[in-house]
A and B are shown apart, each in its own frame.
Chain A
Amino acid sequence: MVVDGIGASVKRKEDLRFLSGRGNYVDDMNRPGQTFAHFLRSDVPHGKLNKVDISAALKMPGVVAIFTGDDFTGVGGIPCGWQIHSKDGTPMVEPRHPVLAAGKVRHVGDPIAMVVAETKQQAKDAAEAIILDIETLPAVAGLTAALAAGAPLVHDEAAGNICFDWHIGDKAAVEAGFAKAHKIVRLDLVNNRLVPNAMEPRAAIGDYDVSSGEYTLYTTSQNPHVIRLLMGAFVLSIPEHKLRVVAPDVGGGFGSKIFHYAEEAALTWAAGKVKRPIKWTADRTEAFITDAHGRDHISTAELALDAEGHFLALKVNTQANMGAYLSTFAPSVPTYLSATLLAGVYKTPAIYAEVKAVFTNTVPVDAYRGAGRPEATFLLERIVDVAAREMNMDRVEIRKKNFIPKEAFPYQTPIALQYDSGDYMATFDGCLKAADYAGFEARRKASAAKGKLRGIGISTYVEACGIAPSAVAGALGARAGLYEVANIRVHPTGSVTVFTGAHSHGQGHETTFAQLVSEQLGVAHDMIDIVHGDTGKVPFGMGTYGSRSLSVGGSAMVKAMDKIIDKGKKIAAHLMEADVHDIEFKDGKFSVVGTDKAKTFGEIALTAYVPHNYPIEELEPGLEETAFYDPKNFTYPGGCHIAEVEIDPDTGTVSMISFTAVDDIGRVINPMIVEGQVQGGIAQGIGQALLEHAIYDESGQLLSGSMMDYTMPRADDIPNISVGMEVTLCTHNPLGSKGVGEVGAIGSPPAVINAVVDALRDYGVRHVDMPATPAKIWALIDAYHPKMAAE
């Protein structure tokens, strides 16, 4: 029997079907009698919708139905799942987000009409026959423009375009820290807006069974139960037992497939009207203008230091772009997922942060891999580097001086979070060594001899993930619980099906979770199936995001398997006529301690389902258990990333030479999958730091609206990435795991930019906003030459 449990680099079971073209994605699915939808979308950023004339379009060949905003007045708006209150206690402004645009269009891509036809082409043809009368209104795309006095309003009810004006921390303590500071370092930063660009574009099929009255939505989602809850309860008023949401194989999400999107509600609702399935698959252009974007913060940070370089206080003011409507978790990103992380790995005693969330005529902005934590980490690790330089201190020394020492855990930060475990010195020293930091100056000289500018950048980070304790999240504004659910079904012959509320869209859950089962129940991998992504099969669940699947979902599995083992022991005790307290379960066998009497896991399973000799008076037959696991705290992965870059001063091109990561993600289940997750996250972080930028022009048109202008990282943009681990265990979940999905994207951008700024040390460059494109770097170098000549 092959039992590959915790710690084995088991090859990913799911890859055979993914790599051989046998995955089952939404666009691969077809329902009997299926029709196709095409959404007619606004091409103006802001406008008054005077008239949508569908009369000619209805007569086009193959048209089944056409729906507009008027058809959806009787249903709810697309809800927001997180409520933030402003400083003055008032709740955030939460304008209605209609399923299809009603009265106004508010961003390019806002859906105006849905055409349902026999073929996709016919739907597109008919959409072109819809006559729109849109009165263009002045628009605001950027934060600065939206907050300017007299700026056009995205929503009439949001004065000044402000959604909320929030704060956290002890302002007085921060002021006191500043009052006694030896030095105050100030830095303005932009966290660049990103387009998620999962490989698989969003797709959905709405289906309605006339005989049962049941709706089914097949959709590209990271959390089908959340979609069922949001869409069923808040938008369409379909009770849970009549609504099934299926998220089959999903090709990447990175956060963008957490959210409930208008298309899902429109397709489900319309399927009930036309009484036929309706399928829609976004093309890449639609993905650019409808998938929730990421980041887009402007911040000012001020760090107060004493004469020795100890951090005394940190003050941060952030403006966060929400886009035109509030996406599902948008308000949580710049607030509880970002500002609460501003302590980072440092013992800064006083922190105060203010966040203004702002509506603009752009695609909604929401969580994207890291969600708030990359923004906090970028800000912190940049200002620490700037502080080191302006204090004439070494970048390594200033960090070591301010680290939270390992003896201080559990560590209560001044802004809400309590870190349970970590050893920042260990990951730091490990990373410096792995990156040969000490040998850098020789490499810099070698590059200089070739006419290249070499730089090295360090970043340290901590993140809060494994969200969340439901009570804490609820107190902070979450409108849902954030536990996870596992149902373990042991079949009569001892094979196991695990039903998990987590969802795999590339993470390798089918392998990692099978390892948990293999470890705990001693069952071979080919006897284990992991089922996810179907509300009709899985009891409940909150899905996959925030690096939570293992630490929360895996913990639920452990708890459910504990119950299986407990029941198995009772059955074994009966069969072997022993006391249940004398039964031990190990390596797949129930044995009576101190004897050679034992029953295999399979024998016990069979007995549970064929209860001929069974303690039927006190125990139900069957072997299936469910556990809901609500974590006691967030988990806190942390670590150190070091980037080394070389800049060609003639062109401004930044080349990634090497990247070294030493992370603490708690217990590692599958080292190979973990390494892949870290590398993938770092690739996205390098993308943010050097390449990716969603750019709107002033009028609200997306200039980087295709792969021709939006720079996705390619393989040759990414260097070899060295991944190391220094593990401390999470203290409050049964696995000791912390989470790995986001660490790469969180730790890497400041390492890259710190390296770029370091490379430009002789050019008077204090800060570079992301992405550090060749044009931007060349302009900095070019701007410096005249000054040199003048000196």
Chain B
Amino acid sequence: MYDFTYAKPASLADAAKALGADAEAKALAGGMTFIPVLKQRLNKPSTVVDLSALGLNYIKLEGGKLMIGAMTPHGSVAASADVKKAIPALAELAGNIGDRQVRYRGTIGGSLANNDPSACYPSAVLALGATIKTNERSIATDDYFQGMFTTALNPGEIITEVQFPIPEKAAYAKFANPASRYAMVGVFVAKTAGGVRVAVTGAGQNGVFRHAAFEAALAKSFTPDALNGIATPVGDMNADIHGSAAYRAHLVGVMAKRAVAAAK
């Protein structure tokens, strides 16, 4: 990696200041993507602003909502009694991200800020209709994801918390990329007060997306069979050495059915 200045601010205001003052400064959450990128010299930040001392590592279940601090690692979400009680599908998703080491360091806020098109969390956040709180504002999930590695965040804006409404039932089904074990296709289904929401990660050319056709079918009947015969447009899918667009489109249907069957 290239040399950089390291800063570990103790307040959100200082962190925002450090990031805002310098266009070349970069925030460090869990670093599970960022540190490999630095090691490969693919990024040359002036200052790395470590967000780990901002008190953002917490999980709260209050007022019918689940609040997860942005710096909460996946392993904590997976192990949390509150998460398991309120949204077991979210605990299970978190428990299957990466490996034990990644789950110990990687954070929900880092994952959402990066918006890797193969990351698991974006599908849960989108399907559950969560709200992303930052140091500046609250962003509705439907406005947040804007294509792969692209979000509604302004430069220097820091995610502080993710607020999840509690669904009636939900589940996540992931078909892991054989090599990376990221989601090659991940489908999160949620039956919520506001209707059925289905979000797909890994498969789409533009990152995580809602599957309107599946949502409509499942709104009528929340059963796997309701998805029979509903195709996922192949043209919107990724294709690479691990699978064709047709294969991914097919897997979206398979994983959606499995998620519906498993939803609780």
Contact = CB atoms under 8 A, between A and B. Distances in A.
Contacts of A778: 247, 250
Interface stretch (B51-59, B72-80, B156-164, B175-183): B175-183
Contacts of B242: 709, 773, 775
Nearest to B258: A650
Contacts of B254: 650-651
Contacts of B178: 691, 711, 773-774
A285 interface: yes
A124 B247 contact: no
Given A691-B178, A704-B179, 5 more contacts: A121-B3, A651-B254, A693-B241, A708-B179, A779-B247
Nearest to B239: A775
Most chain A CB inside 10 Å of its own CB: which residue of B3, B41, B178: B178
B41 A124 contact: yes
A707 interface: yes
B57 to A, nearest CB: 28
Main secondary structure on B side of the interface with A? loop
A682 interface: no
Contact of A711 (B2, B175, B179, B250): B179
B154 interface: no
Interface string B5-49: 000000000000000000000000000000000001100000000
A703 B180 contact: no
A448 B223 CA distance: 23
Interface in A669-720: 691, 693, 695, 703-704, 707-712
Interface of B: 2-3, 40-41, 175, 178-180, 182, 241-244, 246-247, 250-251, 254
A703 B241 contact: yes
A782 B244 CA distance: 12
28 contacts: A121-B3, A124-B41, A125-B2, A285-B40, A650-B254, A651-B175, A693-B241, A695-B241, A703-B241, A704-B241, A707-B179, A707-B180, A709-B179, A709-B241, A709-B242, A710-B179, A711-B179, A712-B179, A773-B242, A773-B243, A774-B175, A774-B243, A775-B243, A775-B244, A775-B247, A778-B250, A779-B247, A782-B246
A35 B219 CA distance: 66
Contacts, number: 45
B250 A708 contact: no
B256 to A, nearest CB: 12
- Top 6 closest pairs, chain A to chain B, by CB: A775-B243, A711-B179, A708-B180, A711-B178, A650-B254, A775-B247
B175 A779 contact: no
Tell me whether chain A's interface is mostly helix, strand or loop, or mixed: loop
Nearest to B179: A711
A: contact size bracket: 20 to 34
A773 B182 CA distance: 16
A448 to B, nearest CB: 19
B180 A709 contact: yes
Contacts of B2: 125
Contacts of B179: 691, 704, 707-712
B60 to A, nearest CB: 34
Interface string A753-791: 000000000000000000001110011001000000000
Contacts of A650: 254
A716 B247 CA distance: 24
Nearest to A652: B247
A693 B254 CA distance: 26
Most buried by B among A121, A691, A707, A775: A775
B1 to A, nearest CB: 8
B103 to A, nearest CB: 16
Nearest to A648: B254
A285 B180 CA distance: 15
A390 to B, nearest CB: 30
B190 to A, nearest CB: 22
Nearest to B39: A283
Residue of B2, B182, B243 contacting most chain A CB atoms (<10 Å): B243
A125 B241 CA distance: 33
B191 to A, nearest CB: 23
Contacts of B250: 778, 782
Interface in A246-274: none
A121 B247 CA distance: 43
Contacts of A775: 242-244, 247
Nearest to A690: B178
A703 B179 CA distance: 12
A102 B179 CA distance: 36
Interface string A148-176: 00000000000000000000000000000
Interface string A66-84: 0000000000000000000
A710 B242 CA distance: 10
B124 to A, nearest CB: 21
A703 B40 CA distance: 17
